[in-house]
């Protein structure tokens, strides 16, 4: 039952119902407040389903808690995933019960997110919600439906094709050169990223016992697609590791993701490089390595791409280079 009260000459209606976030609205007249409250309560009543009460009354907030406790620790990148899920819990959508987490509610959530974030971020948010609900259905046997299945997803953004040119690279490395209070790890991290096409997480997970300077390779045990791979080292990459300071034990680059991201962003700003992300170094490296390894099997062995379609996203050959090859 809605509560109606007068405040500062206006009428406030408030509805508190289990399984829904609290709703409050202010009107000029008491009749308007009652009309709004009756309409909203009727809408809530029409949303009842035949789900069993334990699942129906379970809040989405509680489902996220259980997912974080039971499932997320088994994932790579669990720390970042927990941050994303805790942010989702702070959104009002987490106050809905699973019974009332309908397609319409998620559509409103999607539209709201699209006003503040990119389409790619909104798509990832919906994918996480769908994954949690599907896990609850399969593994916890909760008799719930997945409202994400029929929800229209935002159009996927076009893949980035930003690469670093020679002038930008020189400016960036100059800003990353260790001096003063600047982190001495950033210069070798960026050089290795450019020379090997390794991802940020692969670089930061690298251990000295996985580096073989004699064979000129590093062994990656944990990669994004789950397959270990051996990465060859170019002369430049080998030189950077040979001259890398510090003890030859433990992590090659003892720095956190957040500290590295902040230092890289600051260096790009100082170097005057706009619209450039750390992951764009992988695009840059793959394009350069492709100029040396024309065999796509060899190229994918270095970069770790499983499919030609994924490799094509990162392989940006210049039209003038193709023209020169055709002229031979």
- Coil, strand, or helix at residue 122? helix
Tokens 């259980």 found at: 66
DSSP letter for 35, please: H
Q: What is the pLDDT of residue 55?
A: 60
Q: What pLDDT is recorded for position 75?
A: 83
Q: Is the pLDDT of residue 109 over 60?
A: yes
Quote the pLDDT of residue 238. 93
Mean pLDDT of 83-97: 93
> What pLDDT, on the 0 to 100 scale, is given for residue 48?
42
From residue 189, alpha-carbon distances to 99, 169, 173, 186, 211 in Å are: 48, 13, 11, 5, 14
Residue 49, classified by CB atoms within 10 Å of its CB into exposed (0-12), middle (13-18) or buried (19+), is middle
Partners of 12 in beta bridges: 5, 26
* Confidence (pLDDT) at 130: 95
| 72-93 per-residue burial string, b: 16 or more CB within 10 A, e: under 16 | beeeeeeeebeeebeebbeeeb
Q: What is the pLDDT of residue 49?
A: 36
Examine the pLDDT at 160 and tell me if it is beyond 60: yes
- Average the pLDDT over 50-68 and give the result: 74
Residue 293 has pLDDT above 70, yes or no: yes
The pLDDT assigned to 36 comes to 85
User: How does strand 217-220 pair with strand 211-212?
Assistant: antiparallel
Identify the pLDDT of residue 315. Answer: 63
**Please, are residues 26 and 7 in contact by the beta-carbon 8 Å criterion?**
yes
| Active-site residue set | 199, 224, 279, 282, 305, 314
Phi-psi bin for 75: left (phi > 0), alpha (psi -120 to 50), beta?
beta
Q: What is the pLDDT of residues 259-284, one digit of tens each?
A: 999 999 999 999 999 999 999 999 88
Least confident of 205-209, 240-244, 262-266, 305-309: 305-309
pLDDT in tens, 224-260: 766 788 889 999 999 999 988 777 788 899 998 889 9
Percentage above 90 pLDDT, the chain: 41
- Inform me whether the pLDDT recorded for 51 exceeds 50: no
CA-CA distances (angstroms) from residue 252 to 223, 244, 259?
A: 16, 9, 15
How is the beta sheet containing 211-212 ordered, strand by strand?
Answer: 211-212, 217-220, 229-232
Asked which of 118-132, 191-205, 280-294 is least confident by mean pLDDT, the reply is 280-294
Residue 299: is its pLDDT beyond 80?
no
Determine the 3-state secondary structure of 238 from DSSP: helix
């Amino acid at each position: 039952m809605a509560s109606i009260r007068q405040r500062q000459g206006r009428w406030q209606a408030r509805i508190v119902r289990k399984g829904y976030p609290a709703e409050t609205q202010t009107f000029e007249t008491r009749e308007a407040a009652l009309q709004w409250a009756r309409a909203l309560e009727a809408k809530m009543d029409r949303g009842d389903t035949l789900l069993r009460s334990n699942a129906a009354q379970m809040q989405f907030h509680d489902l996220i808690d259980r997912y974080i406790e039971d499932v997320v620790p088994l994932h790579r990148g669990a720390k970042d995933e927990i941050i994303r899920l805790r942010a989702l819990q702070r959104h009002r959508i987490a106050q809905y019960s699973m019974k009332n987490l309908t397609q319409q509610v998620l559509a409103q959530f999607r539209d709201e997110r699209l006003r503040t974030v990119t389409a790619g971020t909104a798509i990832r948010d919906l994918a996480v919600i769908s994954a949690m609900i599907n896990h609850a259905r399969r593994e916890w046997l909760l008799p719930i439906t997945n409202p994400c299945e029929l929800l229209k997803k935002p159009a996927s953004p076009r893949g980035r094709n930003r690469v670093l040119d020679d002038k930008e690279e020189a400016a960036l490395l100059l800003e990353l050169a260790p001096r003063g209070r600047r982190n001495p790890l950033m210069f070798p991290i960026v050089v290795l990223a450019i020379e090997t096409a390794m991802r940020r997480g692969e670089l930061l997970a690298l251990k000295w016992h996985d580096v073989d300077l004699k064979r000129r390779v590093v062994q990656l045990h944990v990669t994004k697609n789950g397959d270990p791979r051996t990465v060859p080292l170019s002369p430049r990459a080998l030189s950077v590791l040979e001259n890398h300071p510090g003890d030859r034990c433990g992590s090659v680059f003892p720095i956190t993701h957040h500290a590295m991201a902040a230092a890289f962003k600051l260096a790009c700003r100082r170097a005057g490089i706009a619209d450039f992300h750390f992951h764009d170094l992988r695009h840059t490296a793959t394009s350069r390595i492709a100029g040396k390894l024309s065999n796509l099997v060899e190229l994918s062995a270095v970069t770790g791409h499983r499919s030609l379609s994924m490799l094509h996203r990162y392989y940006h050959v210049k039209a003038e280079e193709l023209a020169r090859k055709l002229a031979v």
